[in-house]
């Protein structure tokens, strides 16, 4: 190869490989939404579905079958809330819209905002567990010492695999990142 | 000596000029100088990482907490891994590539010599950043080299230093990889077709593509960690809608190709050494090339076998188990080819051959324990135990590092022009090989019995095997000083090496004088002098 041709060939290789590098860097970031979409389609990671009221009304009811739903609640360790389900288990017929309630208490002396992350086990059931209303759809704010009862309305899809007899719905409350950062300044030290 | 090489000697009289002293090394764009810099840098890091390993083995010599506090112990395991992977093994391979690839393919230098200088000189800065964290408030990173959040986000002042050090190491590797690909694609001597390339060049080309495809993903992952910590993003924080397990997916999408980045060039070196000392062409050259390609491809679809226990659906676990086990096919093919090369050959057992043979046997042991770990149901028991530690040290120490040693002994006479001290080399080999097995083999038993990794203390029933392992560790650490002695002695003098050095050596690098002139193959070698294809 002549010098000029070699230079040209080298810069072509460098351009292509640098483009690949940038592309792969972007791909690393693209993995974040890709995983989310993948999990929503497959129901992996216990991500639950969401239905509108119209869709809910159209669901067929299977009165011949009963499924036990268990409720589990957690609060992230650095969040000053108490959080519990008002019923620990409930039996439902697939297709029947059911309402359950959860209670959250802010034990801090300042307002705290948080959001709940749901998870369904076994993960095979996640695709068939649909909610029409949930406090996890938006952030929840509680004033100092406030207690709030929050509803969840859900329908178990009749397509739920026959082998699934018990479904566990778990919620974990996390303090929103922005209030978590401002809280220490807002907080007055608790009287000891 | 070939005609081309003689020609070079003559030419050197006018352009062998370079600044002397320190400036020669800082400003050099010569592939041989940069190769030497890489190799010396990697040897230094090998000892720094080795000292950290000695601290770990000292603390684990007996149950209870003796010498260091748990936080510092965790810093040692984290830093040992980062220094050994990014500071010792990866730069060593790039050093070999710099030294050998141009003279193996008949090129006058690397395609991009200035970039080459830059990609080396980033490294000392990267490691100054990383090692300086040892003296920072809050201590060095201690959350494991895998940097899983949320634990790694609790790192103190060291955290941004860790992230930027990783960025720098990545930039250096990518620059090196681009340079190697450009060199092999554009600078091969006429007649050096792709299927005549020595296998070391082939394995490095594939490694370079792995680097370019995987290192940017790591860079993305650690950048996400950085913005999660300082700029309020929530990629890996459930509070903001993120997911900590996603980090593991992104990290291991880089991490699994990374383990092949560490081992593929070793396959190339062993494929050069075994035919030389068996005095027979390599068995199944083209199958070796395709097997390397197959391993590289598979490395991108097996990542979740590092995280079987995070709670994946059955379909995912089966997929990652089957693809993982599939890697045994091309890898097994390589081992069979090496054995077939030795079959009915007239072998001699100089130090490079001994290290290459030990590589074949011990790397295969590491491969077998890898198969065990790849089987999902049993991995649940082995996960995060010393069995894993034993596995990856068999593939990385008796695999990658032994191949590095083999390559160093193989080409030292070519680099320096002097034969190394064979007796010292044999001592180095036997002390290393015996002690490394005393060091790592008992760790299989410890792991099967349930001893967790990355913990400074352990239950008393693990005491005996840990003591044995520590003794092996100290002997292994000390025996590496023999290697330094060999290198220093060889640089200073010794019996003059011939051009061919080894009786069974074939390939362009052996047609050059030992040591080769500062500028070699400024005129391409005669196409008839290129044998290729078999080594």
B430-433: list long-range contacts, CB under 8 Å, 24+ apart.
Answer: B431/B475, B431/B476, B431/B478, B431/B479, B431/B482, B432/B402, B432/B405, B432/B476, B432/B479, B432/B480, B433/B354, B433/B358, B433/B362, B433/B398
Per residue in B397-447, pLDDT (tens digit) is 999 999 999 999 999 999 999 999 999 999 999 999 999 999 999 999 999
- CA distance, residue B392 to nearest chain A CA (Å): 25
* Cβ within 8 Å, pair B216-A44: no
Query: What residues in B contact A75, CB-CB < 8 Å?
Result: none
The answer, yes or no, to whether residue A111 has pLDDT greater than 60, is: yes
d(C-alpha B454, C-alpha A81), whole Å: 34
3-class SS of residue A50: strand
| In chain A, where the domains are located | 1-42, 48-186
Q: What is the fold of A48-186?
A: Ctag/Cox11 (Pfam 04442) (2.60.370)
In this structure, what DSSP letter does residue B401 have? I
Please identify which of the residues B31, B167, B256, B280 carries the catalytic annotation: B256
Distance of CA A16 to the CA centre of its chain: 40
State the count of interchain CB pairs (< 8 A) between A and B.
103
Residue spans of alpha helices (H) in B187-231: 199-230
| In chain B, where the domains are located | 17-88
Task: Name the band, by pLDDT with cuts 50, 70 and 90, for residue A47.
Answer: low
d(C-alpha B24, C-alpha B30), whole Å: 10
d(C-alpha A112, C-alpha A123), whole Å: 31
Higher-confidence residue of B314 and B519: namely B519
Q: Is A138 left (phi over 0), alpha (psi -120 to 50) or beta?
A: beta
The answer, yes or no, to whether residue A31 has pLDDT greater than 70, is: yes
Per residue in B59-103, pLDDT (tens digit) is 999 999 999 999 999 999 999 999 999 999 999 999 999 999 999
**pLDDT at res. B11:** 43
* Cβ within 8 Å, pair B187-A44: no
Per residue in A119-162, pLDDT (tens digit) is 888 877 888 888 888 888 888 888 988 999 999 998 898 888 88
3-class SS of residue A64: coil
DSSP code string of B55-68: HHHHHTTSSS--SS
B260 part of the active site: yes
Return the ∠ at Cα B212 (arms to B209 and B215), rounded to 5°.
Answer: 130
d(C-alpha B77, C-alpha B62), whole Å: 17
Least CA distance to B236: which residue of chain A?
A32
Which of A6, A21, A178 faces B216 most closely, judged by CB atoms?
A: A21
In this structure, what DSSP letter does residue A25 have? H
d(C-alpha B40, C-alpha B34), whole Å: 10
Phi then psi for residue B380, to 5 deg, are: -60, -30
B453 part of the active site: yes
d(C-alpha B448, C-alpha B439), whole Å: 16
Query: What residues in A contact B243, CB-CB < 8 Å?
Result: 35, 45
Per residue in B186-212, pLDDT (tens digit) is 999 999 999 999 999 999 999 999 999
Q: CB-based contacts of B39: which residues, under 8 Å, 6+ apart?
A: B92, B95, B96, B99, B408
ipTM over 0.90: no
The answer, yes or no, to whether residue A182 has pLDDT greater than 90, is: no
Tokens at residue B448, please? 């099967």
Q: Is B238 left (phi over 0), alpha (psi -120 to 50) or beta?
A: alpha
Report, as an integer, the average pLDDT of B284-294. Answer: 95
β-bridge pairing A49-50 and A129-133:
parallel
Task: Name the band, by pLDDT with cuts 50, 70 and 90, for residue A118.
Answer: confident
The answer, yes or no, to whether residue B3 has pLDDT greater than 70, is: no
Q: In terms of Cα–Cα distance, which of B206, B219, B328, B186 is closest to B260?
A: B206
Per residue in B445-490, pLDDT (tens digit) is 999 999 999 999 999 999 999 999 999 999 999 999 999 999 999 9
Q: CB-based contacts of B343: which residues, under 8 Å, 6+ apart?
A: B283
């Amino acid at each position: 190869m002549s010098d000029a041709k070699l230079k040209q060939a080298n810069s072509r290789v460098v351009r292509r490989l640098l483009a690949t590098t940038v592309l792969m860097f972007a791909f690393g970031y693209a993995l974040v939404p890709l995983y989310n979409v993948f999990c929503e389609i497959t129901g992996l990671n216990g991500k639950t579905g969401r239905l509108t009221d119209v869709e809910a009304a159209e669901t067929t009811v299977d009165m011949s079958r009963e499924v036990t739903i268990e409720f589990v609640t957690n609060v992230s360790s650095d969040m000053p809330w108490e959080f519990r389900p008002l019923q620990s288990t409930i039996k439902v017929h697939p297709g029947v819209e059911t309402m359950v309630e959860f209670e959250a208490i802010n034990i801090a002396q300042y307002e705290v905002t948080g959001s709940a992350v749901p998870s369904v086990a076994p993960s095979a059931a996640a695709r068939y567990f649909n909610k029409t209303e949930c406090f996890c759809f938006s952030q929840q704010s509680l004033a100092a010492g406030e207690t709030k009862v929050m509803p969840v309305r859900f329908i178990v899809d009749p397509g739920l695999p026959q082998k699934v007899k018990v479904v566990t719905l778990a919620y974990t409350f996390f303090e929103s990142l922005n209030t978590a950062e401002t809280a220490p300044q807002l907080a007055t030290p608790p009287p000891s | 000596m070939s005609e081309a090489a003689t020609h070079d000697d003559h030419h050197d009289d006018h352009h062998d000029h370079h600044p002397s002293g320190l400036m020669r090394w800082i400003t050099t764009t010569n592939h041989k100088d940069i190769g030497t810099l890489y190799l010396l840098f990697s040897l230094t890091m090998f000892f720094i990482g080795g000292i950290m390993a000695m601290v770990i083995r000292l603390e684990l010599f007996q149950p209870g907490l003796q010498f260091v506090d748990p936080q510092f112990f965790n810093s040692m395991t984290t830093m040992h891994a980062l220094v050994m992977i990014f500071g010792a093994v990866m730069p060593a391979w790039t050093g070999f590539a710099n030294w050998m690839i141009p003279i193996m393919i008949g090129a006058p230098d690397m395609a991009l010599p200035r970039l080459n200088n830059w990609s080396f000189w980033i490294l000392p800065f990267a490691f100054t950043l990383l090692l300086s964290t040892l003296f920072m408030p809050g201590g060095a990173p201690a959350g494991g080299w895998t940097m899983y959040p949320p634990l790694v986000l609790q790192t103190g002042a060291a955290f941004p230093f860790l992230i930027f050090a990783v960025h720098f190491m990545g930039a250096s590797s990518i620059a090196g990889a681009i340079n190697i690909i450009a060199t092999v694609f554009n600078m091969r001597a006429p007649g050096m077709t792709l299927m005549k390339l020595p296998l070391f060049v082939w394995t490095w080309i594939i490694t370079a593509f792995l680097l370019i495809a995987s290192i940017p993903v790591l860079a993305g992952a650690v950048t996400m960690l950085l913005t999660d910590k300082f700029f309020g993003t929530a990629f890996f924080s459930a509070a903001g809608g993120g997911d900590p397990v996603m980090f593991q997916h992104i990290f291991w999408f880089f991490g699994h190709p990374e383990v092949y980045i560490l081992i593929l060039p070793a396959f190339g070196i062993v494929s050069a050494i075994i035919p030389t000392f068996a005095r027979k062409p390599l068995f199944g050259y083209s199958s070796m090339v395709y097997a390397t390609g197959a391993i590289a491809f598979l490395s991108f679809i097996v990542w979740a076998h590092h995280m079987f226990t995070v709670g994946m659906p059955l379909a995912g676990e089966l997929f990652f188990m089957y693809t993982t086990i599939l890697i045994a096919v091309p890898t097994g093919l390589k081992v069979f080819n090496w054995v077939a090369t030795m079959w009915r050959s007239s072998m001699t057992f100089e130090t490079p051959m001994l290290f290459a043979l030990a590589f074949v046997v011990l790397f295969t042991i590491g491969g077998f324990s890898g198969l065990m770990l790849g089987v999902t149901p049993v991995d649940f028991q082995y996960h995060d135990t010393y069995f894993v530690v034993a596995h990856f040290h068999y593939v990385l120490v008796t695999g990658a590092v032994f191949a590095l040693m083999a390559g160093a002994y193989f080409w030292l006479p070519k680099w320096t022009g002097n034969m190394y001290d064979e007796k010292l080399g044999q001592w180095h080999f036997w002390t290393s090989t015996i002690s490394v097995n005393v060091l790592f083999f008992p760790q299989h038993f410890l792991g099967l019995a349930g001893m967790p990794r990355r913990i400074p203390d352990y239950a008393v029933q693990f005491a005996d095997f840990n003591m044995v392992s520590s003794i092996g560790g100290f002997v292994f650490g000390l025996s590496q000083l023999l290697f330094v002695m060999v290198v220093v002695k060889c640089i200073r003098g010794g019996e003059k090496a011939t051009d061919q050095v080894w009786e069974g050596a074939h390939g362009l690098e052996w047609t050059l004088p030992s040591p080769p002139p500062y500028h070699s193959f400024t005129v391409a070698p005669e196409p008839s002098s290129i044998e290729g294809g078999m080594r």
